[in-house]
Structure 1
Amino acid sequence: MRRRTLIRGAAAVVLVPAGLAAATSAAASPRQKSAQADDLVGVDVSNYQVGFDYARAANEGLDFVVAKAGGCQLSEGPYTSDSYAGHVDGARAAGLRVGHYFLTGDFLSPREAADYFVDNLHDYRSGDVLALDVEVLDDSTRLWNDAEVSTWFNRVRERVGAYVPWFYISTSALRSADWSRTIASGARLWAASWGANDGSYPGPPDLGGSYPDWAAHQYSSMGSVAGTSPIDLDLARPWAFDVSGPTDPPGGLPKTSAEQDGVPGPTMWKRTQNWLRIQSGYTGPIDGVPGPNTYAALQRNMAGNWGYTGPIDGNPGPMTWSAVQRLAAQHGYTGPIDGVMGPNSWRGFSRFINADAWD
């Protein structure tokens, strides 16, 4: 997404990254996949992809498109992108999943930005992605912080009800700040990490423990799809498109005593299920009784951030629990990473799971 917007209605000039010619010739088709065979492939588009051939892209295997709706990073004020409606209509006509994204900036408050975004959505339908692009471009001077980002997502939910929220940010910016309020808002991470920037998939993004999991990954800005280049290439987990309601269970959840006594019980597992519901696609009840669905969501989370490389089969073993111990080590656990959970392992894990974000 890092191509400078000049002004609305003006001819766009693409700032071409160094090495574009060589990289573009080697760019991958949209069907290139990550290690997970069920990941969906997509692109995000703006004024730089006017005339994109959506029918051809669908035939090439594209699954989804996220179109730039507008932003508030220009000193002249908020705007709706000239190409926005055409992108949405083209993607919809080709049978692709549709998303809409808004660029942050200095010139609206988060609440005002959310209202402007919702008021100017084109052909929004339940199940569409509504995304916030958090970066510093054009006339803006600073990155939105956790409180501002969470305010935007919560306001959008107030306006549209349950929806599909994506939080776009570079992994370097992600790792440099705390995002606990954004996590609690239910926003799913759309991580920007381009690797060698040659259009090939560089592997999962490095979150550095700053977010529980990633839902989508923008892995290149130099792809070639349906004869259009350069274009951003993205992968998304299937659950990234699940509609998300309010994140807090009625009345909230109590803290687990496992942080003190190291004994896991129903309260700890309820909080774990709520965390996994928010971040890793768990759709079962918040009942404190872990089963295959709970464990599969746990494995997805551990695979995204904590070095789990086993199957997502809902059957936890030493590889799963070793990854949980690596998470726990960031919260006070100092024992071995041996895949054998004991009181000290559970204490460290429960310090994490007792965070206010999972109430």
Structure 2
Amino acid sequence: MHRRNLIRGAVAAALAPAAVAASGAPAAAARRGAGELPGFDVSNYQRGIDHALAAAQGQRFAVAKAGGCQLAEGPYVTSSYAGHVDGARAAGLRVGHYWMSGDFLAPVAAADYFADHLHDYRPGDVLALDVEVLDDSTRLWDDGDVAAWTHRVRARVGPFVPWFYISTAALRAAAWDRTIASGAHLWAAAWGRNDGTWPGPPDLGGRYPDWAVHQYTSVGSAGGVAPVDLNLARPWAFDVTEPTEPPPATGLPKTSTEQDGVPGPVMWRRAQNWLRIESGYTGPIDGVPGPNTYAALQRNMRNWGYTGPVDGAPGPNTWAAVQRLAAAHGYTGPIDGAMGPHSWRGFARFLNQDRWD
């Protein structure tokens, strides 16, 4: 979403067409499948929504933004979160909680923060991950990130109802095998003309078995508030799931340098493993860089403009090449050979790719 307000939930009761029309849900209800349920998602932008009125209008679920990690100042809890959960539950709506992904917490740490700050979570509630690039973040979480978050939430709360929110354009641009195996229901965002009516089923491009929830407009209204994101959910979207495969085997941990810009042993272990795979490094994966690590780094940096000797003694020319690599992964500062927090963050983002685990 272009606003900070995602993820949703629903009820397992079919609605009569008259109730659907009253809810602000799609006028072309005949095109929908039987039993699909209208609902909405909310954040601070919908702080004044009347959840009881929304329920009377035919809405059946509400998903409240719990917080996120897309802001440079760090993870946070959305100030309207508890009020939305309490209001939706009091109105008899099915309740969901969603987390905004971002650059400033790794997936497992983000899942822990989310689980630690859930408000009135009850078994059967939706727990959703919003995957998009907003605010201070620059990288879309990938298949491994989403799966890691989902597995970690399950480890914290037990079997649950997992939703994975993403635009259909971003969905079609990647593979999501590990996310599918994690049991996450797809919450697909596709607005079409974005005129408040349902544009028909979202185009998944064969990347996911099926959609469970469709966010079809960002200009709807509900509970006396507009604009509101409106959704359709299939009844099975609220089924608790288990993974079809065990969590991926744990390799090297991700480095927090991507978030804090401070290089450390975990970052260098990942660098050594990368250099082992690509550049002939044969030393230990111990996170303590020495001449052998730096020599392999210099060999690799020839791909990024380094023309100096492979002597294991890095200087400004070596680090300028590292900055060019970092620039391909979000670094936007000068190529001056002076590594700082922003340079290290871009380098660490490269190293945090699953292929270097």
Q: Same fold (TM over 0.5)?
A: yes
- 2:2 aligns with 2
Match of 1:29 among 3, 24, 28: 24
Kindly state the Cα deviation for residue 245 of structure 1 after the two structures are TM-superposed. 2.6
Kindly state the Cα deviation for residue 241 of structure 1 after the two structures are TM-superposed. 0.2
Per the alignment, in what secondary structure is the counterpart of residue 158 of structure 1? Answer: helix
The answer (yes or no) to whether the contact 1:43–1:231 under 8 Å persists in 2 is: yes
Match of 2:219 among 210, 219, 222: 222
- The one-character-per-residue Cα deviations of 1:261-319 (angstroms, maximum 9, x if unpaired) are xxxxxxxxxxxxxxxxxxxxxxxxxxxxxxxxxxxxxxxxxxxxxxxxxxxxxxxxxxx
Kindly state the Cα deviation for residue 160 of structure 1 after the two structures are TM-superposed. 0.8
In the TM superposition, what are the counterparts of 1:134-213 in structure 2 within 5 Å?
134-213=131-210
The answer (yes or no) to whether the contact 2:25–2:197 under 8 Å persists in 1 is: no
Match of 1:53 among 43, 50, 53: 50
Q: AA paired with 1:124?
A: Y
| Cα distance change, pair 104–226 in 1 and its aligned pair in 2 (3 A) | same
The answer (yes or no) to whether the contact 1:30–1:225 under 8 Å persists in 2 is: no
- The one-character-per-residue Cα deviations of 1:48-104 (angstroms, maximum 9, x if unpaired) are 000210111110001000000000000000000000000000000000000000000
The answer (yes or no) to whether the contact 1:162–1:245 under 8 Å persists in 2 is: yes
Per the alignment, in what secondary structure is the counterpart of residue 123 of structure 2? Answer: coil
Q: How many residues are treated as equivalent by the alignment?
A: 229
- RMSD of aligned alpha carbons: 1.8
| Cα distance change, pair 27–238 in 1 and its aligned pair in 2 (3 A) | closer
CA distance in 2, matches of 1:136, 1:181: 20
Q: Does 1:66 align with 2:63?
A: yes
The gaps in structure 1 that reach 5 residues or longer are: 6-25, 250-359
CA distance in 2, matches of 1:228, 1:71: 23
The answer (yes or no) to whether the contact 1:27–1:199 under 8 Å persists in 2 is: no
Q: Which has the larger radius of gyration?
A: 2
Per the alignment, in what secondary structure is the counterpart of residue 96 of structure 2? Answer: strand
In the TM superposition, what are the counterparts of 1:1-359 in structure 2 within 5 Å?
1-3=1-3, 29-30=24-25, 32=27, 33=29, 34-248=31-245
Q: AA paired with 1:68?
A: K
| Cα distance change, pair 31–194 in 1 and its aligned pair in 2 (3 A) | closer
| TM-score, normalised via structure 1 length | 0.62
The answer (yes or no) to whether the contact 1:41–1:63 under 8 Å persists in 2 is: yes
CA distance in 2, matches of 1:87, 1:138: 23
The answer (yes or no) to whether the contact 1:28–1:223 under 8 Å persists in 2 is: no
Kindly state the Cα deviation for residue 243 of structure 1 after the two structures are TM-superposed. 1.1
Kindly state the Cα deviation for residue 244 of structure 1 after the two structures are TM-superposed. 1.3
Q: AA paired with 2:3?
A: R
Kindly state the Cα deviation for residue 27 of structure 1 after the two structures are TM-superposed. 11
- The one-character-per-residue Cα deviations of 1:118-177 (angstroms, maximum 9, x if unpaired) are 000000000000000000000001100111111000100111110000000000000000
The answer (yes or no) to whether the contact 1:197–1:219 under 8 Å persists in 2 is: yes
| Cα distance change, pair 195–125 in 1 and its aligned pair in 2 (3 A) | same
Q: Percent identity?
A: 70
The answer (yes or no) to whether the contact 1:135–1:169 under 8 Å persists in 2 is: yes
- 2:261 aligns with none
CA distance in 2, matches of 1:106, 1:31: 35
The answer (yes or no) to whether the contact 2:162–2:185 under 8 Å persists in 1 is: yes
Q: AA paired with 1:49?
A: Q
Per the alignment, in what secondary structure is the counterpart of residue 62 of structure 2? Answer: strand
- 2:257 aligns with none
